[in-house]
Chain A
Amino acid sequence: MRVCLLCGNCFLPPVDLVRLFSFQAFHEAVLCPHCQKLFQPLGPIRCPACGRSQQTAQLCRDCQRWEQIYDGDLLVNCSLYHYDQAMHDLMVQYKRYGDYQLAQVLASFLPPLPNWLLVPIPTSPEHQAKRGFDTIEAIFGNYALKPLLTKIPGQGAQGMRSRQERLEAEQGFVLADVNYPIYNRSISKILLLDDIYTTGRTLYHARDCLRRAFPSAKIKSFTICR
């Protein structure tokens, strides 16, 4: 018997034969079947760039904008779940209220990630100090992360801003310690990691920043929800 991390009810973890015999990273069930069903995976038809699920497989409006701004150099993103009410409530509980244990719930959603250089999107040092943990690193803690980006201090939280304010936000990242041994030319593939893809602004900024250090690397992103 286990105790569900969301509702507190006891449940028997399902025996999943496919998982048992696969080489995938095995996540222990932390949610009861009822709570697991609250979260909706994204549908099969998606925007080819940002991964938003939609009616047709064409570029979504956000990405058409990015296509213009970046002259066709779109960031390819992969997400797993809808950012719906259930996911929103989970994120509020985790990020705003600081329920650290929910990092395990979000981690249980993760697929196996490719063997690329994994760069988490940093949170502001002020918030990290207040919460006592880094919201992104806590979710992806089972992977070897390379925290190459630092947040410029003094900028407010994304969640507090309107959509327009987010789109107009200034570049918020700088490269961490430039003498880091990882800065060698052999790095060819980088995966940016974040929790939510909202407008794409944050991830495009992060890519801009990394491009300067790794001009020839292929950079994609992964977020839990879109």
Chain B
Amino acid sequence: MDELIGRQWLANQEDITTISTCEKVPAIQADRCQRCGSQLLAYLPSRKRYCRSCLGIGRVSEDQVLVRNLATAVFPKNPAPLTWQGKLTKHQTKISQALVNNYHAGKTTLVHAVTGAGKTEMLFPLLAACLADGKRAAVAAPRIDVINELYPRLAEAFAQIKVGCYHGKREAEPGCEQLTLLTTHQLLKFYRAFDLLIIDEVDSFPYAGDPMLHFGAKNAVKTAGVTVYLTATPTSDLLAEINQGKVAKLTLKRRFHGQKLPVPREKLFLRPYLNHGRLNPQLAEHISRAIKAGHPLLLFVPKITEIPAYLAAIKADPQFAQLKLAGVHAADPERLSKVEAFRRGELEILVTTTILERGVTFKHVWVIILAADDRIYSASSLVQIAGRVGRASDDPTGLVLFCYHRYTHNIRQAMQEIQEMNQ
């Protein structure tokens, strides 16, 4: 049963598991789901209640118990678990050293780092400090793509350490690995498991604003464990905890190449972006400038349903008749191949929804956000989208254009954040 150490799972009340290190608690207690903390309960025909919030990982109902394996996992001490040979920049080293110190001091920490700062490498010394001690660590993120991208990098950086990877689209038997990568949803399956828990992209959907995932994260870490949050735009709940002194804050204002963030240009449009299927001339002018300068262009639109109209309007404009373009959205079966084609330079323009707002890097890309005033763009989305530009050290600048009809609070907040980080 060692593979279940630090985990919690559902069982019937009659369950006769007799592992001495396991405790059993009623799955629903005091009108609250004990796995996710939610009070969104509903009745089954049997008059037993079930939890509607965490259904996706198996339904919790009143006639069940949560079995929690509270044993402590023991791993051998290992003076040099980090096999990565790379070097950190001066700025990265400073943050990374502070993270190690805060870990030893038992301090929960938020790292506020600009997009393109090279966060992952900064975490290596921190993870090494934890693993060297024979302790257990986890890296969680809200989105599966991020976990899939991190997994090979961490497995390579810590070649002698057993690394586990868990998310909803991956079949994996539960194991007790010293280093675990998982989505924030999967954290609900752990209880007092980790000495160190790092949560990446805390500003991103679905973690941001979901109390269930916050509850799961708090439960997954040991009582004396340490949590580290990473973000490019701190959420208000974390800022409040920083102000109360519960969380320490570290800020990294420079990208790994040492340059500032490109500051978005704001452009008020009085007329619609599309009029009877034709591009607004001012919009066409901006697109044309990007193309003439030889930059691939990401065009963000708020809704999937608008993509075909924009594609048609660009194609209908004689000056763009020769261009190769495509549209992409979350449910698009050709999503990966289109993104790859754009990356290889086979497409000049990619019209996209917010799915490409983070986690992707395209060399020399410029970005135009249409309807930056749409409700779909949070301040953190806008900062992330702007962060796609200027990531290479040989081309650290570029165009980010926020097009709007109505100046919104989110646009203002995104602009302020970028300017603050650039000071």
How many inter-chain residue pairs (CB < 8 Å) link A and B? 28
What is the total number of residues of chain A having a CB less than 8 Å from a CB of chain B? 11
Per DSSP, chain A at the interface is loop
Residues of B within 8 A of A99 (CB): 42, 52, 55, 59
Beyond A85-B331, A132-B61, whether A100 also contacts B44 by CB under 8 A is yes
In whole angstroms, how far apart are the Cα atoms of A97 and B43 in the complex? 14
* Contact, CB under 8 Å: B55 / A97: yes
Is A8 in the interface zone, CB < 8 Å from B? yes
Q: Does A40 contact B (CB under 8 A)?
A: no
Q: Are B50 and A98 in contact (CB under 8 A)?
A: yes
> Is A93 located at the chain interface by the 8 A CB criterion?
yes
Question: B44 and A97: CB pair below 8 A?
Answer: no
Q: Which residue of B lies closest to A100 (CB)?
A: B44
Contact A132 B44 (CB under 8 A): yes
0 or 1 for each of B36-54: is its CB under 8 Å from A? (1 = yes): 0000101111101010100
Residues of B with C-beta under 8 A to A85: 331
* Bound Cα distance A202, B93 (Å): 64
Q: How large is the interface on B (under 10, 10 to 19, 20 to 34, 35 or more residues)?
A: 10 to 19
Report whether A100 and B45 are in contact in the complex, using a CB–CB cutoff of 8 Å.
Answer: yes
A100 / chain B contacts, CB cutoff of 8 Å: 42-45, 50
Quick check: A132 and B42 within 8 Å, CB to CB?
A: no
Decide if A97 touches B331 in the complex (CB within 8 Å): no
Is chain B's interface secondary structure helix, strand, loop, or mixed overall? Answer: loop
Interface string of B15-52 (1 = CB under 8 A from A): 00000000000000000000000001011111010101
Residues of B within 8 A of A98 (CB): 50, 55, 59
Does any Cβ of B come within 8 Å of A155's Cβ? no
Q: What residue of chain B has the Cβ atom nearest to residue A85's Cβ?
A: B331
In angstroms, Cα B61 to Cα A195, docked, is 25
Q: Is the CB of A133 within 8 A of B44?
A: yes
When C-beta atoms are compared, the residue in chain B nearest to A104 turns out to be B42
Contact with B along A122-166 (1 / 0, CB 8 A): 000000000011000010000000000000000000000000000
User: Please, which residues of chain A bring their CB within 8 A of the CB of B45?
Assistant: 100, 132-133, 138
Q: Is A188 an interface residue (CB 8 A)?
A: no
- What's the minimum C-beta distance from A168 to chain B, rounded to whole angstroms? 26
A residues near B50, Cβ cutoff 8 Å = 98, 100
> In residues 60-107 of chain A, which contact B (Cβ within 8 Å)?
85, 93, 97-101
Known: A85-B331, A132-B61. A97 touches B42 (CB 8 A): no
B56 at the interface (CB under 8 A from A): yes
Q: Are A97 and B40 interface neighbours, CB within 8 A? A: no
The CA-CA distance from A98 to B40 in the complex, in Å, is 15
Closest Cβ–Cβ distance, residue B130 to chain A (whole Å)? 35
Select the residue from B45, B56, B331 with max chain A CB neighbours within 10 A.
B45
B55 A93 Cβ-Cβ under 8 A: yes
**Quick check: A97 and B56 within 8 Å, CB to CB?**
yes
How far is B46's CA from A101's CA once the two chains are assembled, in angstroms? Answer: 13
* Closest B residue by C-beta to A101: B42
Chain B contacts for A133, CB-based, 8 A = 44-45
The residue of chain A having its C-beta at the shortest distance from the C-beta of B58 within the complex is A97
Chain B residue nearest to A134 in the complex (CB) = B45
Nearest CB in chain A to that of B54: its residue: A97
Q: What are 22 A-to-B residue pairs whose CB atoms are below 8 Å? A: A85-B331, A93-B55, A97-B56, A97-B59, A98-B50, A98-B55, A98-B59, A99-B52, A99-B55, A99-B59, A100-B42, A100-B43, A100-B45, A100-B50, A101-B42, A101-B52, A132-B44, A132-B45, A132-B48, A132-B61, A133-B44, A133-B45
Q: Which residues of A contact B (CB under 8 A)?
A: 8, 85, 93, 97-101, 132-133, 138
Q: List 16 other contacts, CB 8 Å, given A97-B56, A132-B48.
A: A8-B40, A98-B50, A98-B55, A99-B42, A99-B52, A99-B55, A99-B59, A100-B43, A100-B44, A100-B45, A100-B50, A132-B44, A132-B46, A132-B61, A133-B45, A138-B45
